[in-house]
Amino acid sequence: MDYTSALLTDLDDTLYSWVDFWAPCFRSMVHVIHGQLGAPEDEVTAQFREVYARHGSVEYQFSVQELELARGLAPTELDALVRRVKGAYNRVREARLQPYPAVKETLQAVAAAGIAVVGVTNAPLFLTTRRLAQLRLDHLFAGLAAWEGFEAADDNPYVKHRQWQSRIPRTWSFPKDLLKPNTHTFRAVLHDIGIPPDRAWVVGDSLEKDIRPALEIGAQGIWARYGMTHEQENMDTLLRVTHWGDDAIERVYAVGGVQPSRAIDRFDELLDVLPVQLGLSL
């Protein structure tokens, strides 16, 4: 399809609450390992933090295998532990991973209006394509731009679990140094789909990572202000385990210094901004 305009949307804490689904999932993993190996949960959490720091992401997929506690386990014992941990994570994810209100209906309206919907995220491409499918939103996207993801050894027996068939017709993958707040990702996507920046809207929860680069390239930056609100327990969990320093956390969650084109408190408020005519009531 030939598009004349585009909506570039962040995913985490813009389409769904990443903090409020990931943190309970993480706690379920810690609880399983505590139960299986007997280590205090604070120690398990600290070891996860060390692994995440080495790989630069709290969503590193092979973290259980790299825990100090897992060293010395027989291969069959490690496989059993990984299966239990994965099962616990998946059960909590199914209960907690939900789109924000009216996200699906809004994306349907935007796509039906002939506007290219492209996800732009710093999360790994494999995880985000799968997550959009789990949310049953992937068919509404014209494309997805994401981090190229983790490296894994060819002989890693768990790599097979990374295979995923996506309904998203076009994807881009970038190294970490070109991800948001670098403007490269936005520029590359718009260039490839043939949309000038002044015909693009960028929506995201981070003023620093989403809105600042959008404004720098001449696009409209729509701040998803609602994405800054999380359950305190879940935010505390993230802060205990993240490898980010205080400066990085402050930049991501800062609410000053950048003036967005518009701030919204629900995702469907985009319909007041974009040239979309809805034939239904949300």
Angle at CA of residue 174, ends 217 and 166, nearest 5°: 110
Q: Are residues 134 and 200 in the same domain?
A: yes
CA-CA distance, 89 to 21, in Å (whole number)? Answer: 10
Last residue of a domain, one of 72, 96, 120: 96
Specify the length of the chain in residues: 282
Q: Are residues 55 and 149 in the same domain?
A: no
CA-CA distance, 53 to 51, in Å (whole number)? Answer: 5
Structurally, the chain folds into a number of domains equal to 2
Residue 282 confidence (pLDDT): 34
Residue 2 confidence (pLDDT): 82
Residue 281 confidence (pLDDT): 34
CA-CA distance, 203 to 220, in Å (whole number)? Answer: 8
Alpha helices in 102-162, H assignment, sequence order: 103-112, 125-134
Last residue of a domain, one of 96, 115, 138: 96
Q: Are residues 10 and 29 in the same domain?
A: no
CATH of the domain at 161: 3.40.50.1000
Residue 280 confidence (pLDDT): 37
- Pairing assessment for the beta strands 143-147 and 171-174 based on DSSP bridges: parallel
Q: Are residues 116 and 206 in the same domain?
A: yes
CA-CA distance, 20 to 208, in Å (whole number)? Answer: 21
Q: Are residues 122 and 169 in the same domain?
A: yes
Run means of pLDDT, 10 residues per run, the chain, 282 residues = 92 98 98 97 97 92 95 95 97 97 97 96 94 96 94 53 73 96 98 97 97 98 97 96 66 71 97 69 34
Q: Are residues 56 and 147 in the same domain?
A: no
Sheet strands (E) in 97-170:
116-124, 143-147
Q: Phi first, then psi: what are they for 163, rounded to 5°?
A: -70, 135
Place of tokens 């959008």: 214
Around Cβ 156, how many Cβ atoms within 10 Å? 14
Last residue of a domain, one of 81, 96, 111: 96
Residue 1 inside a domain? The answer is no
User: What one-character DSSP code corresponds to residue 93?
Assistant: H
Residue 66 confidence (pLDDT): 95
Which residues form the domain of 240?
6-16+100-272
Residue 152 confidence (pLDDT): 57
